[in-house]
Chain A
Amino acid sequence: MTTLTEELDQITAKVQQEQQAAGDRINVCVAAGCLSLHSDAVQHALEAETKKSAARCAVRGVGCMGLCSAGPVVSHEPAASASNENATRLYRGVQPEDAPQLVASLQGEPVAKLAISSQLPFFTRQTKVVLENSGRINPESIEEYIATGGYRALMHALNEMTPAEVVQEISASGLRGRGGAGYPTGLKWATVARVAGAPKYVICNADEGDPGAFMDRSVLEGDPHRVLEGMILAAYAIGASQGYIYLRAEYPLAVKRLGIAIREAKRMGLLGSDIGGTRMNLNLEIRLGAGAFVCGEETALIASIEGHRGTPHPRPPYPAESGLWGSPTLINNVETYANVPPILRRGSAWYAALGTAKSKGTKVFALSGKVRNTGLIEVPMGMTLREIIFDIGGGVDEGHTFKAVQTGGPSGGCIPAAQLDIPVDYDSLMQAGSIMGSGGMIVMDDSSCMVNVARFFMEFCMSESCGKCIPCRAGTAQMYGLLTRITEGTATHRELDLLTRLCDMVGATSLCGLGQTAPNPVLSTLRYFKNEYLAHIEDKHCPAGVCDCTASIAEVAQ
């Protein structure tokens, strides 16, 4: 009888054999970004074309390759150089009609008009841990994940390590929660593991909702098994036998691929009863979020899984002690779980060597806004904002100047040009008046009005407030009203003063993180761009030319 580990080795050998036999590999990105540009049609055209031609090659749909602004992205890995990454050719903006030319070029020179150099800083400056497989494997095939070394960390942990040792390894790695707050993951696991009581639950928070953030979506669409493996390891470490993935329904592709991944993992005996022939059981279910941002807050998420209205409740008790149905519950973000398998596979020391003293490892960012290379990137913690935006992102468009970068979504803040050299880690961003957040990074240039930006985020918080506590429910609406008056040019210093005091009050008294951090975009823009507020108030002038301050003056005059 073969053990599951041997089976995994056999699958790996088989996949590698098949891939060698198939010859060249053409990978078409079929994650949401490129798919919206009809990359599925590109994939079909390439498949039809390779069938017609004599070329030995296989066309596959893969996850996000990062450079979303260049979509649909296609990569070509020559067979002879499977191990040599530099030989991989990348193509941008591929259309179905380019298929014949692309297939014809397999043995010869790359298609010049579509080629992008894989030596661009965008690619070379990144360090991929979470995204190591994204864009390289077929996310709908468990075999391909296994062939990259997948589920080995799980088998090793189940057979060779005690749950306490798994927790110890995560603690030693210095991994911190990637959902935004940066709570030490090992400490969280240890707390849930220590609390007596059964059953225990493990939950994956995939309710990604920050405007401009798509890290979790890309991970789930590009490499869903990595998240599952992380969750199974977490369940083993804390002693849970039931888990939920709370995924927003607006990500249909992620829902589909995760569903396939769960089915495949069950089929392989990596989920369900007697995992890998051990006594461990874990049942994982997907719960779809119905479009409420606040359900990303852990207590609201738990209420939503229980079938209640998704509203937060005061902590303590923390979910670690009393969470889902009153049981000890571990909640981590998608990216946090995705970091777990490589840590156990390569060791905590390897992971702890990445990043800075207090922020270990890498962080995935969704780079968007007024930057040339928008897309998904992964960099070691501690890289400066300047390196991320100008080296990897390629800076702002010709003729414009960089003004600020917004991190952390509606809970974060805007960091001005003068602070571009701060390292990106939890504590430095906090000091600069923003937060790491889940990884959204929106770049703004001189055509962005910072008051309007603050107003946009406040509108978001107002419409996403659950309405349970007064400061958040009524306070965000009032702050939005005041910001609107400033952008319309009808505000005075009195409104600005009231806005400042409301920011303090709402931040200090709100029940959950949504309200507590809702004032941050206003506070950070007030801190660095107060002159823009004053220009709107005193001169009735919008320096960026975004707000129409004169219309309402005319209205008032009438």
Chain B
Amino acid sequence: MTATPAVKTFVIDGVDASARSEQTILSAAREHNIFIPTLCHLEGLSDVGACRLCLVEVKGARRLLPACTTRVEEGMEITCNSPRIAAYRQMTLQLLFAERNHVCAVCLANRHCELQSLATSLGMTHVEIPYRFPSLSVDISHERFTLDHNRCILCTRCIRVCSEIEGAHTWDLMGRGIQSRVITDLDQPWGESDTCTSCGKCVQVCPTGALFQKNRTGGQCCKDPSFLPYLRTMREEP
């Protein structure tokens, strides 16, 4: 009997590549400098496969597969970029832009926004999907941070970081479908939350201007989630 080899070899965008068997297509692609767009994925958090931007074609698979949750397998033939995938990614972004009120010009995250930079890098020049212009609230009750539902893309990074890293589980989701929105505690104002430790991790991982620090102007609204893999690694070490 032979042990399962720990290293898998496969072809990704025409390049012969290898990765450890527990690696996902996404991490293998990034190691090989192949770009796959993501929004809900963040290094150091669990993956949920929700944004569907990282979908890739795998030869022989019936459907497109999310690169963030699919593990590499021996002999896989992966296509990360094709006209079909590119069209789907653009449409996904358009759906997001049309879903809520993403007005970059008056957004604090302008030029520091993952949604915005993805739209630029994927060449989204216009939105042909009708804007929904929902009427959504802004929660300014917290003394240091603000939640603006108009900019939220429901990536659930804030929920995951609060539950998985901070251990507070202040954030959660309520409602379903197009009515879903993030809430603090049992839909209480953020400032009145008993569980929030005001650590600010959620703000740092938020890809858009939905969560931001108060008393900052546009240019200063940089986010830095790089502490995450570091924290994770430090905690995993014995």
A contacts, CB < 8 Å to B: 292, 294, 309, 313-314, 316, 462-478, 481-482, 498, 501-502, 505, 508-511, 516
Contact = CB atoms under 8 A, between A and B. Distances in A.
6 contacts: A462-B178, A471-B52, A471-B95, A473-B154, A505-B88, A509-B92
B132 interface: yes
B88 A508 contact: yes
Interface stretch (B62-70, B194-202, B213-221): B62-70
Nearest to B68: A314
Contacts of B130: 478, 481-482
B9 to A, nearest CB: 20
A467 B178 contact: yes
Contact of B50 (A468, A501, A502): A468
A509 B64 contact: yes
Contacts of A464: 176-177
B29 interface: no
Given A467-B176, A478-B95, A481-B130, A510 B52 contact: yes
B92 A471 contact: yes
B206 to A, nearest CB: 16
A514 B228 CA distance: 33
A99 to B, nearest CB: 47
A309 B50 CA distance: 14
A466 B96 CA distance: 16
A314 B154 contact: no
A477 B69 contact: no
B63 A508 contact: yes
A314 B177 CA distance: 17
Contacts of A502: 91, 129
Contacts of B132: 477, 481
B49 interface: yes
Contacts of B69: 314
Contacts of A309: 172-173
Given A314-B69, A477-B132, A511-B49, A465 B177 contact: yes
Nearest to A471: B52
B56 to A, nearest CB: 11
Contact of B96 (A294, A470, A498): A470
Contacts of A468: 48, 50
A498 B128 contact: yes
A309 B130 CA distance: 30
B interface: dominant SS: loop
Contact of A462 (B99, B173, B177): B177
A261 to B, nearest CB: 32
A309 B153 CA distance: 18
Interface residues of B, number: 33
A519 to B, nearest CB: 13
A467 B177 contact: yes
Contact of A467 (B49, B92, B96, B175): B175
Interface string B39-73: 00000000011111001000000011010011000
B173 A474 contact: no
Nearest to A481: B130
Interface string B85-96: 001100110011
A502 B128 CA distance: 11
Interface string B108-133: 00000000000000000000111010
Contacts of A474: 95-96, 98-99, 178
Contacts of A498: 128-129
B55 to A, nearest CB: 6
A492 to B, nearest CB: 12
B176 A465 contact: yes
A467 B70 CA distance: 21
Contact of A313 (B48, B63, B64, B92): B48
A530 B26 CA distance: 41
Interface in B165-191: 172-173, 175-180
A481 B99 CA distance: 12
Given A309-B172, A473-B99, 12 more contacts: A314-B49, A314-B70, A316-B70, A462-B177, A463-B176, A465-B177, A467-B175, A467-B180, A470-B50, A474-B98, A476-B178, A516-B63
A473 B66 contact: no
Given A473-B178, A477-B178, A511 B52 contact: yes
Contacts of B49: 313-314, 469, 511
Contact of A469 (B52, B129, B172, B178): B52
Contacts of A508: 63-64, 88
Contact of A509 (B55, B98, B177): B55
Contact of B95 (A313, A470, A516): A470
Contacts of A465: 176-178
Nearest to B84: A508
A462 B96 CA distance: 16
Of the listed residues B64, B87, B88, B178, the one surrounded by the most CB atoms of chain A closer than 10 A to its CB is: B178
Q: Which 7 A-B pairs have the closest CB atoms?
A: A467-B180, A465-B177, A474-B95, A314-B49, A477-B178, A474-B99, A314-B69
Nearest to B99: A474
Nearest to A480: B178
Contacts of B178: 462, 465, 467, 473-474, 476-477
B152 to A, nearest CB: 12
Contacts of B180: 466-467, 473
A469 B92 CA distance: 10
A43 to B, nearest CB: 40
Contact of B177 (A466, A505, A510, A511): A466
A511 B51 CA distance: 9
Contacts of B177: 462-467, 472-473, 476-477
Nearest to B51: A470
B52 A467 contact: no
Nearest to A468: B50
Contacts of A516: 63
A467 B153 CA distance: 11
B98 to A, nearest CB: 7
Nearest to B128: A498
A505 B225 CA distance: 31
A463 to B, nearest CB: 6
Contacts of A478: 95, 98, 129-130
Contacts of B88: 505, 508-509
Of the listed residues B91, B128, B177, B178, the one surrounded by the most CB atoms of chain A closer than 10 A to its CB is: B177
A476 B96 CA distance: 13
Contacts of A314: 49, 66, 69-70
Contacts of A473: 99, 154, 177-178, 180
Contact of B51 (A463, A469, A476): A469
Given A462-B178, A509-B52, A511-B49, A501 B173 contact: no
Nearest to A501: B91
